[in-house]
Amino acid sequence: MSRPPIPFTDRIARALPQIVVAPSFAAILFFVYGFIAWTGYISMSKSKMLPNYDFVGIRQYWRLFQMDRWSVALENLFIFGFLFIAVAIVIGCLLAVLLDQRIRAEGFIRTIYLYPMAISFIITGTAWKWIMNPSLGLETVVRGWGWESFRFGWTNDETLAVYALVMAAVWQSAGFVMALFLSALRSVDQDIIKAASLDGASPWKIYTRIILPSMRPVFMSAVVILAHLAIKSFDLVVALTGGGPGYASTLPANFMYEMTFRRNEIGVGAASAMVMLATVAAIMVPYLYSELRGKKHV
């Protein structure tokens, strides 16, 4: 004997969660994964000024890696990415430890350290560009104090422009790293710390042996988030150095924009975007995988 058929309205009711998720999921499938495939296809096509779907294999990638502008962009990304991540983490960690010393007015100081995170990279870039103005900026001020050889006009110098980017990016993100580390510091088990201090461990030892090692997961998160920020960096370059002088401080994201919207090289632009995606995926996929898997075991 067959079971009585489930009424239609019940079936709808039972499927409601799926029905509700469907539009969002469909949007993500189309606008993220579909578009990735689409860009991937353009990167293997003849496209120049307009998309053109004649398949040419990896020719655009070959051309991409022949371009000096792209090599410079990649090299800059490594310098910028490495320094940005390292310095932001060192400063962020230091600030978190400093603020963790039972400071009066902690909330107030934290507000000051974190406000750059609320503003656009475009503003950050504009502000630092003005501070680094060669004739009216900080350079002139400090020279006026008697330090004649002081140089801060970094944005106009081919070798220093990348460091100007690092400096502004660290300024914007160090507070964020601090917030991450501070919340992790606060969640370290106080009993262990008490026990160690009763055993006569110095505060320095407690920090380096107990507290900092326990922050490995936060440390990983910070590295991944900052790396992701570094690869996506676009607006900061636009506002601070314009990628210049020449293209000395250009980054892959700016290269992509330049090729796609200014030079009618859509195919090369798409190829560069795919390389960026691959770089992000190489960092994010293992991280997300371990995060999601790790959670299930808890």
Measured from the CB of residue 203, what is the shortest distance to another protein in angstroms?
A: 8
Nearer Cβ to another protein, position 98 or 212? 98
For the bound state, the minimum distance from the C-beta of residue 92 to another protein, rounded and expressed in Å, comes to 11
Q: How far is the CB of 157 from another protein (least distance, A)?
A: 19
- Give the DSSP H or E segment for 210: none
Angle in degrees, CA 222, 111, 203, rounded to 5: 60
Q: How far is the CB of 74 from another protein (least distance, A)?
A: 14
Residues 85, 280: Cα–Cα separation, whole Å: 15
1/284 with CB nearer another protein: 284
Task: Tell the smallest beta-carbon distance from residue 180 to another protein (Å).
Answer: 6
Q: How many CB atoms lie within 10 A of CB 202?
A: 11
Contact by Cβ (8 Å): 44, 57: yes
Q: Is 88 exposed, middle or buried (0-12, 13-18, 19+ CB in 10 A)?
A: buried
Cβ–Cβ < 8 Å for 88, 166: no
Return the number of the residue (83 or 253) whose C-beta is nearest another protein: 253
**DSSP per-residue codes, 131-156:** HT-TTTSHHHHHHHTT-TT----GGG
Nearer to another protein, 1 or 198 (CB): 198
For residue 46, with 0-12 CB atoms within 10 Å meaning exposed, 13-18 middle and 19 or more buried, which class applies?
A: middle
- Cβ proximity to another protein, 131 vs 248, nearer residue: 131
| Nearest distance, CB of residue 88 and another protein, angstroms | 13
Of 34 and 213, the one with the shorter C-beta distance to another protein is 34
